[in-house]
Amino acid sequence: MDFPKYNGTCHPNKYVKHMRAYCKVNRITNEQDILELCTLMIDSNITIPDDINNIDKLVNTLKSHSTFNIFKDSCKGKLQKMKYIPEKEDNFTATFFAKFRTLCNDAEINDPDEIKKLLINTYSSNKFFKDEFEKMSDIMNSKNQIDETFKLFHEIACDESNVIKYGSLIALKNVTTGRYLSSCEINYMSTKAQVVFANDKLPNKNALWFLKNCSEKEVPYNVESRFKLMHKETNMELYASRDDKSPTTGQREGTYPVVKVVLLNVYNIRYNYNRIVRNHDFTFTIGDEVFYEVIGHYDKIGANDAWCIELVENI
């Protein structure tokens, strides 16, 4: 174990704690001997009085020195700049909290409201998190408030990681057929537009879509939002053709490129020209490939029009 040293870059309490641990390992138990070691290992640029006769007085003296105020301000500055980045933390909040709480202790910040404000600032760019955290923390029990604040942050951060938002990688599963909305670099025979079909399996690169914002404004996604579906594999955007008919049933083809899609509720998707997306058991063939048909229609909404949005890992 290295000999602890104090140069104004750690909290005096932590310095003394490390020195006590060092003395414990080396069987130094006399309080005056421990005090002498603590005093000897202070950097010579930090001057202290000669009449210090106990460790508590030494700690208070170090806290009153200008270097300690500089140290606290530095820790607070780090807290103000600290950002919670789920991808960087691998959604593991324990390591983030350990660093955050250490900085709070070093800066001697123990006011629950100030800690809450600093925590919100670490993830303020995420509107869902910010709104939920502020709402839930306002009704939080005052007992053990600091610990409860960190617990709340963790719970909301975990919830947020499972929230569908613009930029999310998703799959759309037809509730009735169990098949996934898919596409690939094969074109319809008649229109030469890129094919849209339904596929039985996931994970499957053909069934992965990015949820894209139709608006240039930075607004959060909700179940009534207009959005685009961009196919991950081919980088094309989904739409329902206005004029071209599907190969088997004569409805409108699901095809590409640009379109705006409106989610009516969790399960029904309405395309441009007010068409509803449907998958059924009809198939069509292109070359040697057989595909389950996906269409856009004006008919009454039925069981085959129900889709479940699944948030998937980036595979």
CATH assignment at residue 251: 2.80.10.50
- Has residue 4 been placed in a domain? no
Residue-level pLDDT at 220: 53
Q: Which residues of 190-208 are buried (b: 16+ CB within 10 A; e: fewer)?
A: eeebbbbbbbeebeeebbb
How far apart, in whole angstroms, are the C-alpha atoms of residue 244 and residue 51? 94
pTM, rounded to two decimals:
0.64
How far apart, in Å, are the Cα atoms of 205 and each of 54, 268, 280?
Answer: 69, 23, 21
- Considering the domain architecture, whether residues 293 and 200 belong to the same structural domain is answered as yes
Residue-level pLDDT at 35: 96
Residue the block writes with tokens 């909404």: 301
Residue-level pLDDT at 55: 97
- Has residue 33 been placed in a domain? yes
- Considering the domain architecture, whether residues 52 and 114 belong to the same structural domain is answered as no
Cβ contacts of 3 within 8 Å, gap of 6 or more: 22, 41
Q: Which residues of 286-312 are buried (b: 16+ CB within 10 A; e: fewer)?
A: eeeeebbbbbbbeeeeeebbbbebeee
- Considering the domain architecture, whether residues 78 and 153 belong to the same structural domain is answered as yes
Domain hosting 18: range is 12-64
- Considering the domain architecture, whether residues 148 and 122 belong to the same structural domain is answered as yes
How far apart, in whole angstroms, are the C-alpha atoms of residue 127 and residue 129? 5
- Has residue 84 been placed in a domain? yes
Query: Would you write out the chain's pLDDT as a tens digit for each of its 315 residues?
Result: 789 999 999 999 999 999 999 999 999 999 999 999 999 999 999 999 999 999 999 999 999 999 999 999 999 999 999 999 876 666 578 889 999 999 999 999 999 889 999 999 998 877 778 888 888 877 766 667 888 889 888 888 877 777 777 788 888 888 889 999 998 888 877 767 788 899 887 768 898 988 887 766 655 555 555 678 889 998 888 765 544 455 554 444 444 333 333 333 344 565 555 678 888 888 888 888 888 998 878 788 888 888 888 888 655
How far apart, in whole angstroms, are the C-alpha atoms of residue 216 and residue 283? 38
- Considering the domain architecture, whether residues 280 and 264 belong to the same structural domain is answered as yes
Domain termination residue (choose one: 161, 194, 229): 161
- Has residue 6 been placed in a domain? no
Single out the residue of 145, 144, 123 nearest to residue 133, CA to CA.
123
Residue the block writes with tokens 């130094």: 28
Q: How many domains does the chain have?
A: 3
Query: Is it true that the peptide bond before 203 is cis, omega within 30 degrees of 0?
Result: yes
- Considering the domain architecture, whether residues 139 and 186 belong to the same structural domain is answered as no
- Considering the domain architecture, whether residues 140 and 262 belong to the same structural domain is answered as no
- Considering the domain architecture, whether residues 179 and 239 belong to the same structural domain is answered as yes
- Has residue 2 been placed in a domain? no
Residue-level pLDDT at 253: 44
Helix-, strand-, coil-residue percentages of the chain, each rounded to 5: 35, 25, 40
How far apart, in whole angstroms, are the C-alpha atoms of residue 298 and residue 64? 77
- Considering the domain architecture, whether residues 23 and 103 belong to the same structural domain is answered as no
How far apart, in whole angstroms, are the C-alpha atoms of residue 2 and residue 77? 29
- Considering the domain architecture, whether residues 260 and 144 belong to the same structural domain is answered as no
- Considering the domain architecture, whether residues 186 and 288 belong to the same structural domain is answered as yes
Single out the residue of 75, 77, 137, 139 nearest to residue 112, CA to CA.
137
- Has residue 277 been placed in a domain? yes
- Considering the domain architecture, whether residues 197 and 268 belong to the same structural domain is answered as yes
- Has residue 17 been placed in a domain? yes
Residue-level pLDDT at 279: 86
